Structure 1
Amino acid sequence: MEHYVQLRKDTTEKIYERLNQLEGRINSEEFVKTSGTTNTVNYWVFDYHPKHELIVRERVSLIQKKYNDYHDKLKIYVVDLYELIIRHLESNNYIGYCKQFEQENGLDYVTAAVKNSLQLTSNEQTNAMVGYIKDIVPAKEAYSILLTGVGKCFPLLQGPEVFNQILYNMPDEYRRIPIVLFYPGTYTEQELIIFNEMQEDNFYRAYRIVRD
């Protein structure tokens, strides 16, 4: 039996409607409720058609500014995953090596090399991405973390890896913080389909923050 997934095909009017719903959810009391236990996660995905990337980026910036302008103690932090990877490569003088590796060995080789240098499968003490997020986001001051840039990262970093190898390695004090991954593609709460074209590994431990 053929498996069918309804891909995101929102109109411009629809993406603005969904972004309004997103902003309402982020500002709701329910959004920040979590027990903070080891088995409880407060992870969310906002999926959208890739053609609306610039609209989504603009609204994310606006949501951050509007919230932070009215709240002194708890802030919304926006973390661009692509910028973290570039920061990592530049600080370790790896950019030149990546160009050389791609020319000599292809993109798959570069992808494996970058992931290995990030130590994504390691614990919080050695996982580079965990360390970068901790540097940007003070746990006691964070109301929410909005993760962007995963589309720009592909294939160096994929959606399931963000959850399984980064967020699940964050220290316990970050478990109370609701985290939203902005995903250019389709998320069904079982499947992540990047750019509406390529299925990534199955994942179902995050919720769609806007369901329609």
Structure 2
Amino acid sequence: MDIQQKLDRFFEEIQKEDFLQMRGLGNEVPYFIFDYKPEYELMVRKSVQYFADKINLNIKVLNLFEMMLDLFEDIGLDGLKQHEEEQGTEQLLDDMRPTLEDETLVDKIGEEAQDTQILFITGIGSVFQLIRTHELLNQLHAKVTNTPVIVFYPGEYTGQGLSLFNRFESNGYYRAFSI
């Protein structure tokens, strides 16, 4: 199946009543991973926004990169660039991690999920090395339980673990459903 067929089938599936009512999940959290080959990133990104706007459902699209930048709006992108130039990339990442790990981002996602039928999370590849998908989903379990969450993942999800860009293995994650 090519990527367009997979996207078409996916957007058809999420409009079904069984999906919206979260039937058949066996008391599991309604978390899903739509994995795809990294080279399809731009196509998937455009399709996600297009269908979120087109489908007659209350869908919220959250881009993790944009959300991360919002957390550092007091410094701004120019401030982050300057910090990296002065201190180096590793130091910048080390300095950003505490803000991202203190659940501020997860709280914000939880707020955004309220009054939403479906939550789409994009931008996983853009925040590589700062935000790990399995850690984010583990933290979200306490905040978002009644809204289907779909992570658009440029890589492979085996049902046992994630491989970003089909290159970087993460710690095992098995609580999401492949969709």
TM value normalised by structure 2: 0.87
Q: Residues 44-71 of structure 1: CA distance to partner in whole angstroms, max 9, x if unpaired?
A: 000011111111011111221122xx35
Q: Residues 172-211 of structure 1: CA distance to partner in whole angstroms, max 9, x if unpaired?
A: xx311100000001110112111111112211110101xx
The question of whether the paired residues in 2 share the 8 Å contact of 1:191 and 1:202 is answered with yes
Cα separation, 2, equivalents of 1:108 and 1:34: 41
Query: Is 1:148 aligned with 2:122?
Result: yes
1:128 aligned to which of 101, 104, 110: 104
Gaps of 5+ in 1: 1-12
Residue 157 (structure 1) aligns with: 131
2:142 aligned to which of 169, 176, 183: 169
The question of whether the paired residues in 2 share the 8 Å contact of 1:147 and 1:180 is answered with yes
- RMSD (CA atoms): 2.2
Q: Considering only CA atoms, is the larger Rg found in Structure 1 or Structure 2?
A: 1
The question of whether the paired residues in 1 share the 8 Å contact of 2:106 and 2:136 is answered with no
Cα separation, 2, equivalents of 1:202 and 1:110: 27
The question of whether the paired residues in 2 share the 8 Å contact of 1:34 and 1:41 is answered with no
Secondary structure in 1 matching 2:50: helix
2:28 aligned to which of 40, 46, 59: 40
2:90 aligned to which of 86, 108, 119: 108
Gaps of 5+ in 2: none
Aligned length in residues: 176
Query: Is 1:93 aligned with 2:75?
Result: yes
The question of whether the paired residues in 2 share the 8 Å contact of 1:144 and 1:177 is answered with yes
User: Share of identical aligned residues, percent?
Assistant: 31
Cα separation, 2, equivalents of 1:105 and 1:52: 34
Q: 1:51 is aligned with what amino acid?
A: E
Residue 184 (structure 1) aligns with: 154
Q: Which moved more, 1:107-116 or 1:180-189?
A: 107-116
The question of whether the paired residues in 2 share the 8 Å contact of 1:34 and 1:40 is answered with no
